[in-house]
Amino acid sequence: MNPSPLSGRRIVITGASSGIGRAIAVSALRSGASVAGLARRESRLAEVSGLIPLSCDITDHVAVSESIQEAERQLGGLDALVNAAGINRPGPIADADPLSWREVFDTNVLGLLAVSQAAIPALRRGSEPTVVNISSNSGHRVLSPANGVYAASKAAVVMLSDAMRKEFGPAVRVMDIAPGYVRDTEIHSGYTDPDHRREADERQRSSGIDLGHFADLVVALMAQPGDVAVQSVLVTKTGYAPRPYGS
């Protein structure tokens, strides 16, 4: 088995300061890749040994363009993009602050689009170019009434991934990977209702897959030969079956 399956690959990862993005960055670096990480919290990026830290708010599209250009310069090119940045601001539609809806879509959808648009020219110059969009099981079903807007944003990621395959393929491989619960992430940090937060945290603990295992899976899929196109993947803990809301 090749101990460095991503050797020589040049990768940009968004949301690399925590959670899934950070874990993928660590796994990719361990697998031989050169990695630039984008996130707002540059101090957290600097904690990852070997990572090129680039402070960037992906809802600022001018900053996104500048950061991708800087990543390409420091990496010497770009072969893969992992769109891992994402937030959740749960709440029932009838009671939620509409600004929270915009915040979710600005990051999860428009931010992903801005980064992808900025990176495509560099990717087309790269080797076996690949885009990985981290969606969610929630993009395929609504877990709870409070989760509808997040689910809609992740469903958009699934559809945009299909659109990218049609627009950029076959030269650029595009995959969307939809995890269920993943342990040790900050995805519930936006919960304001203590009961919803408690239930979500319990489900994450009991039904979540290991963060490192999920990151290693993403890296393994990126390491597939150029003639292998992985498209949509749903990932859950073995034996997991969604429970009805409130059960």
Task: List active site positions.
Answer: 150
Sheet holding 34-39, edge to edge: 52-55, 34-39, 10-14, 80-83, 130-134, 173-179, 232-235
Q: Could you check whether the bond before residue 90 is cis, i.e. omega within 30 degrees of 0?
A: no
Q: Which residues contact 28 (CB under 8 A, 6 or more apart)?
A: 6, 9, 11, 13, 35, 219, 222
From residue 241, alpha-carbon distances to 131, 184, 206 in Å are 29, 20, 12
Tokens of 243: 């429970």
